Homo-oligomer: A and B are copies of this chain.
Amino acid sequence: MAGWGWGWARAVRGLLLDVSGVLYDSGADGGAPIAGSAEAVRRIKASGLKLQLCTNETQATRADFVRKLRAMGFDVSVAEVTAPAPAACRLLQERGLRPHLLVHHDLVPEFAEIDKTNPNCVVLGDAAEHFTYANLNEAFRLLIGMEKPVLISLGKGRYYKETDGLKLDVGAYMKALEYACDIEAEVVGKPAKSFFESALAELGVPAEQAVMIGDDIVSDVGGAQQCGMRALQVRTGKYSFSSLSNTETVKEGCSFGEEYSM
């Protein structure tokens, strides 16, 4: 496992792990684990390092997500998962916002406790096939009709890799609504600083003693570095699809000029 000999690594006490593209590739078939990743999680835990999954997964509740990961052989619990939906619920309650949800049907239960009557904001998640023209237009009409439109996006990813290829992520639809309504969305989830801070709090390790591992140069590597963490980009997931310019950014991303291969 290249890189663990580096001096700074001795100070590392905890890891934040992205999931899709790092531990497994998602897919309509439920997805498939990436070779060696379940063993890697076991070894990380056996080494005494603290571990927290830091994901922008918004196609399932954390409980269902963990159930799926455990079925693939990953030894993880709900408490070890930091995800956007619970963070969004905290934000909605703090600000007395009542959301119209444009999210995957399987994520809706995460918002069970939230008042959704007479919406005064729109919450956007990775709705995938639920991103129909009618659904996006409904969200648009609600926003354009608000005196001060509030759009909360669960992540801003461009795309992710599934077992059958690349898939458009929530960020593309966020941009569509931002442009149509001439507004700027508030992003909950990676790369938002507050989201990484929550993940570090749940990890129980300060930024300078934690490392973020992910396949997205912006959401994972860039976001973590803005919180003062080191970050590594794996060569799995969408990495192999990165454009040249992204590949160059990777080198910046990993300040030690190397990527991490599982």
Contacts and interface: CB of A to CB of B under 8 A. Distances in A.
Contacts of A133: 127-132, 168
A182 B141 contact: no
A180 interface: yes
Give the interface SS of chain A, mostly helix, strand, loop or mixed: helix
Interface stretch (A159-167, A186-194, A227-235): A159-167
Copies of this polypeptide in the complex: 2
B179 A171 contact: yes
A65 interface: no
Contacts of A181: 158
A134 B28 CA distance: 13
Interface string A220-262: 0000000000000000000001010100000000000000000
A158 B182 contact: yes
A141 B166 CA distance: 7
Nearest to A140: B168
Nearest to A183: B243
Contact of A179 (B127, B129, B175): B175
A108 interface: no
A159 B178 CA distance: 12
A79 interface: no
28 contacts: A127-B133, A128-B133, A129-B132, A129-B133, A129-B134, A130-B133, A131-B132, A131-B133, A131-B136, A132-B133, A136-B172, A137-B167, A140-B166, A140-B172, A141-B166, A144-B166, A158-B180, A159-B180, A168-B180, A169-B180, A171-B179, A171-B180, A172-B177, A172-B180, A173-B176, A175-B176, A175-B178, A182-B245
A130 B128 CA distance: 15
Contacts of A137: 166-168
Nearest to A139: B168
A70 to B, nearest CB: 28
A134 B180 CA distance: 21
B167 A172 contact: no
Nearest to A128: B133
Contacts of A171: 179-180
A141 B173 CA distance: 16
Nearest to A171: B179
A159 B144 contact: yes
Interface in A105-145: 127-134, 136-137, 140-141, 144
